[in-house]
Amino acid sequence: MKMRSVTPMRIAKIGYIVMSILFCAAGILFIALPEISTEIIGVCIGIAMISFGIVKLIGYFSKDLFRLAFQFDLEFGILMMVLGGIVLFNPKNLMVFICVALGISILLDGLFKIRIAMDSRQFGIKSWWLILLLAIGTGVIGIFLIFDSATGSKIMSVLLGLTLLAEGILNLYTVISTVLIVKNQAPDVLEIETFEVDGKER
C-alpha cells in the first residue's frame, strides 16, 4: 500500500509557524511604534492575511493525522484571503475596516480554536486547556479591536499590535501541540486491488 506524502503537512506546519512568528513580530512592532503610518499598517496586514489564508488552505488539504489544527481552515482561509485583498488594494483609507475585518477574523479564529481545544481534550492532548485559554484571550482582544476601531490612531496601532501578538502566539502553540506528522501515514481510502478467480473478478 502506497503511503501518503507528508510534504504538504510539513509545508503547512512550517508555514503556520513562520506566519505565527511574523504576526508576533508585527504585533511587537506596532506596539513599539504606534506612530507608524496607516498605509504601512494596511499593506502589512493585507499581505499577512492573504499569506496566512494560503497557508490555511494548504493545511486543510494536507490531511494531517489528528485533523485538529486545520479542520476549519478551508472557509477561514478563503475569508482571510478575501479580506486581505480588500485591505491590500486600499490600505490608506480603510483603517477602520482593517481593524474591524482583522478583529472579526481573529474573533472567529478564537472561537474555532476553542472547538479545537475541546477536540484536543478528547484526543488526550494534555495541553488542551492552554489552547482554550489562549483562544478565549485572543477572541476577547479581537472583540476590543472591533469596537475600539474608531479611537485614535496611536491607540488603535497598539491594540492592533496586541491582537496580532495574541493571534500569533495562539496559532504557534496550536500547530506545535496538535499537528503530528507521521512518515508512514496511510491514505484515507485504501486502494483494493482486484484479481480474477475462475474467471470472476474478486
The pLDDT of residue 194 is above 80: no
Specify whether the CB–CB gap between 77 and 70 falls below 8 A.
Answer: no
Specify whether the CB–CB gap between 114 and 167 falls below 8 A.
Answer: no
Tens of pLDDT along 88-101? 887 666 677 778 88
Largest CA distance in the chain: 82
How big is the chain, counted in residues?
A: 202
How many helices and strands in the chain, by DSSP H and E? 6, 2
Tens of pLDDT along 155-167? 778 888 899 999 9
pLDDT mean over 128-149: 89
pLDDT mean over 40-67: 83
Band the pLDDT of 170: cuts 50, 70, 90: very high
- Predicted local confidence at residue 2, as pLDDT: 55
The pLDDT of residue 192 is above 70: no
Specify whether the CB–CB gap between 74 and 103 falls below 8 A.
Answer: no
Report how far residue 34's alpha carbon sits from residue 31's, in angstroms, rounded to the nearest whole number.
6
Tens of pLDDT along 103-127? 888 898 899 899 989 988 888 888 8
The pLDDT of residue 202 is above 50: no
Specify whether the CB–CB gap between 178 and 48 falls below 8 A.
Answer: no
The pLDDT of residue 149 is above 90: no
**Phi and psi (nearest 5°) for 26?**
-65, -40
Helices 128-147 and 153-178 pack at an angle, to 10 degrees, of 160
The pLDDT of residue 69 is above 80: no
Residues forming beta bridges with residue 9, ordered by sequence position = none
- Domain ranges in the chain? 7-178
Residue of higher predicted confidence among 134 and 75:
134
